[in-house]
Amino acid sequence: MTTVTERALWEAMVEARAFDQAMCRHNGHWHEARGEEAVFVGAYADLGPGDVVAPHFRGTCAVALQRGASPDVLAAGVFGTGGSRSGGHWRGDICPAPGPRSIGMFSGSLGTSVAYATGAALHLSRTTPGAAAVCGFGDGTANSGIVAESLNLAAMLALPIVYVCQDNQYATSLPSAVALAGERVSDRARALSITAHDIDGNDVLAVRAAVGTAVERARAGGGPSFVHALTYRMGGHYMNDPETYRTPEEVAAWAERDPIARLQEVLVARGELDATDADARIAQAHARMDAVVAQAKARGEDPPAPPLARTPRTRPR
Ligand SMILES: Cc1ncc(C[n+]2csc(CCOP(=O)(O)OP(=O)(O)O)c2C)c(N)n1
């Protein structure tokens, strides 16, 4: 039974956006996730500490926050300084070193984390009955071969994993409408007999319901599922993206479907949230995260990370 309230989902989306927007202000490498919060907040909301997560890089920090990470430690991980989980040995840029049972983007090669998550699901299936893995990736990443191989293995071995395609409709400047053959990316899963759902990725309650059903299935030994969540990134691919591949009208139309405003309206109408309090809460979150990120950035390289212990290599004779 879930303990996360719908109000808590709204708060998690607010926190996620506040951290994301603070990074946009302070980090020129940041890849903005504004507009996609419903996918990564809804998909990972009801998991337990024994489950494994491998979020898409656009949303990794939000998932870590939702699972109890400190924003200071995450921010330090992005800037690669001493207060990070890696002790300053690794600079995250867009995705810091992950927490326990969280598979991060160890390499900038898209799709690798999908393979690692599938491997983790294989491990869970052998060692931890009832545990599941949830793995996110973008529509562009869905085209990489390693994703097809992972889906095939998961279907063959009925692994306890839920694949969540966070379809923001662009791979950098390439629209998914021209990059994906066939009607829907989820059809690739169906071709492998994997249960697939196509959902509104700007509706956090729909995402939560679809992933929740899929996770229950995985826990019960029903094998993998695929959730295709259609969403939109309101910002550029990265900071300073000239965004010549889309129109301001298209962006404005999707801004009308802002997932945070959408749930907020529902909660206000139900009397579970006061509109003025909500605005104040959002402003507080942005001010807090801005201070956290500015402080992490100002900390720079100090203190220097201690040297890594190296194991000498031995050559085979
Ligand atoms: C294997 C691989 N191919 C290409 C790239 C270059 N690249 C970085 S981000 C990106 C777009 C990814 O699109 P998507 O998976 O839809 O995620 P989004 O950026 O839209 O969130 C590409 C092609 C890469 N990092 N790795």
Task: Give the residue with greater pLDDT, 9 vs 301.
Answer: 9
Q: What per-residue string of b and e applies to 160-179 under the rule 16 or more CB within 10 Å gives b? A: bbbbbbbbbbbbeebebeee
pLDDT per residue over 113-139, tens digit each? 999 999 999 999 999 999 999 999 999
170 lines ligand 1 (CB under 6 A): yes
Q: Which atom of ligand 1 is nearest to the CA of 167?
A: 16
The helix/strand/coil state of 128 is coil
Pocket probe for ligand 1: among 40, 105, 141, 237, the residue whose CB has the most ligand atoms within 8 Å is 141
pLDDT at 98: 79
Q: Which atom of ligand 1 is nearest to the CA of 56?
A: 21
Q: How far is the CA of 108 from the centre of ligand 1 (A)?
A: 9
The answer, yes or no, to whether residue 141 has pLDDT greater than 70, is: yes
pLDDT at 85: 87
pLDDT per residue over 30-55, tens digit each? 999 999 999 999 999 999 999 999 99
Percent of the chain with pLDDT over 90: 84
Number of CB atoms found within 10 A of residue 122's CB: 17
Arithmetic mean of pLDDT, 73-97: 88
Q: How far apart are CA 79 and CA 90, in angstroms?
A: 9
pLDDT per residue over 293-314, tens digit each? 999 999 876 555 667 777 666 6
Task: Give the pLDDT band of residue 89 (cuts 50, 70, 90).
Answer: confident
Task: Give the pLDDT band of residue 317 (cuts 50, 70, 90).
Answer: low
Sign of CA dihedral 157, 107, 182, 162: positive
Q: Which atom of ligand 1 is nearest to the CA of 237?
A: 19
108 lines ligand 1 (CB under 6 A): yes
pLDDT at 104: 86
The helix/strand/coil state of 81 is coil
The answer, yes or no, to whether residue 315 has pLDDT greater than 70, is: no
Pocket probe for ligand 1: among 30, 93, 110, the residue whose CB has the most ligand atoms within 8 Å is 110
Q: Which atom of ligand 1 is nearest to the CA of 172?
A: 11
168 lines ligand 1 (CB under 6 A): yes
The answer, yes or no, to whether residue 82 has pLDDT greater than 90, is: no
144 lines ligand 1 (CB under 6 A): yes
96 lines ligand 1 (CB under 6 A): no
Q: Is the pTM of this model over 0.85?
A: yes
pLDDT per residue over 231-271, tens digit each? 999 999 999 999 999 999 999 999 999 999 999 999 999 99
Compute the C-alpha angle 174/197/31, nearest 5°: 35
pLDDT per residue over 169-185, tens digit each? 999 999 999 999 988 99
pLDDT at 309: 72
Instruction: Please give the DSSP secondary-structure letter assigned to residue 102.
Output: B
The answer, yes or no, to whether residue 107 has pLDDT greater than 90, is: no
Percent of the chain with pLDDT over 70: 95
Number of CB atoms found within 10 A of residue 263's CB: 25
138 lines ligand 1 (CB under 6 A): yes
58 lines ligand 1 (CB under 6 A): yes
Q: How far is the CA of 122 from the centre of ligand 1 (A)?
A: 26
- Does residue 289 contact residue 19 with C-beta atoms inside 8 Å? yes
Average pLDDT, rounded, for the chain: 94
pLDDT at 304: 58
The answer, yes or no, to whether residue 224 has pLDDT greater than 80, is: yes
Arithmetic mean of pLDDT, 182-192: 96
pLDDT at 316: 62
Q: Which atom of ligand 1 is nearest to the CA of 176?
A: 16
Taking phi first (over 0 means left), then psi (-120 to 50 degrees means alpha), and beta for anything else, what does residue 82 get? alpha
